[in-house]
Amino acid sequence: MKKIVETGKGSLNARWPLLFALLLILSFGIHAGMRLWAQESTMEWTRLAFGVLAAIIMLFLASFSLRKMVFTRKIGTMEGWRKAHLYLGLFCVALVFLHTNFTVYGNFGILMILLLLFVILSGLMGELMFRTIPVWLSKQGADAVELDEKRRQPGEYLTMADEIAENASEEFKNFYGMRIRRKYAKRAFPVKYMWLTEKDIIARRKHIFNTLASRGPSTDRLALSHLESLYAERDKVEFKYARLQVLRLWNNAHVPATAALLTALLAHLWSISYY
């Protein structure tokens, strides 16, 4: 039964592009038909309907943040909500242009269009980003706080590496001081991790320590193995932290822009009802 449910969810997610295409064809068909055959008053009501539908979808899309805050509850999958957020957001852009009849009115109209386009573009960037960022980072939970604490103590890895070397032979200590210690003393630059996958990082680390093993003393291989494990932990922290920082930068752009767009939408609705 569980397998059938998961298959159904995957099938629904796969159908979003098709649903998006059908909605576009239907809405553009209605708009074209109204312009060709309907009276002016009917066309105005159709445009109003497009605007109301766009406003409803915008408010629904804003609820995606609420879904992330209650991720412990089963209100659909995060993947399903993300797909709905993406394709309904793109459909909302089409509705807005149908509502305005592909004409931008005044400075306020230009502002709303620019805000809408910025929200959509940042949303598309977020969709690409979420394909490489671990899901737990998107939840901004306790793990992210713990990761911050680890990142603030880069010297901890160096201290632990020194302790491992201290318990090894004198020959290994000298080799550690000349060839290995600087790798722990050097603070890793997070940006480089944005261009690498986890497999790339593992492969690079293996290459580094295989080279060290071939050039170092034949004794104390266990100490070198412990150093590699410690280096692997630091790699994981830096790798996740780089993506967490990008996620936070994206949130600081996408979320305020969305709030500004919703504020402009409310101002637009108020001005229409008032005047």
Q: If you average pLDDT over every residue of the chain, what do you get?
A: 80
- The answer to whether the CB of 215 falls within 8 A of the CB of 101 is no
**Average of pLDDT values for 53-73?**
72
**Average of pLDDT values for 214-232?**
89
Q: What backbone phi and psi angles, to 5 degrees, belong to 188?
A: -65, 140
Helix-helix angle 142-151:221-274, to 10 degrees: 130
pLDDT of 201 reads: 84
3-state secondary structure of 219: coil
Q: What is the pLDDT of residues 139-196, one digit of tens each?
A: 544 455 566 666 656 678 888 999 999 999 999 999 999 999 988 887 655 566 666 7
d(CA 246, CA 227): 29
**pTM for this predicted structure:** 0.65
Cα–Cα distances in angstroms (integers) from residue 271 to residues 210, 213, 274, in the given order: 69, 73, 5
pLDDT of 3 reads: 46
pLDDT of 54 reads: 92
The 8-class DSSP code of residue 176 comes to I
The end-to-end CA distance of the chain, in Å, is 56
- The answer to whether the CB of 29 falls within 8 A of the CB of 95 is no
Q: What is the pLDDT of residues 246-259, one digit of tens each?
A: 777 788 888 889 88
Helices (H), the chain: 2-37, 40-62, 64-69, 78-99, 106-130, 135-138, 142-151, 155-166, 170-175, 181-185, 198-215, 221-274
Q: What is the pLDDT of residues 87-132, one digit of tens each?
A: 999 999 999 999 988 888 788 888 988 999 999 998 888 777 776 6
Q: What is the pLDDT of residues 232-246, one digit of tens each?
A: 888 877 777 777 777
In the chain, what percentage of residues exceed pLDDT 70? 77
Contacts of 172 (CB under 8 A, 6+ apart): 165, 216, 217, 219, 220, 223, 224
pLDDT of 29 reads: 94
Q: What is the pLDDT of residues 107-119, one digit of tens each?
A: 888 898 899 999 9
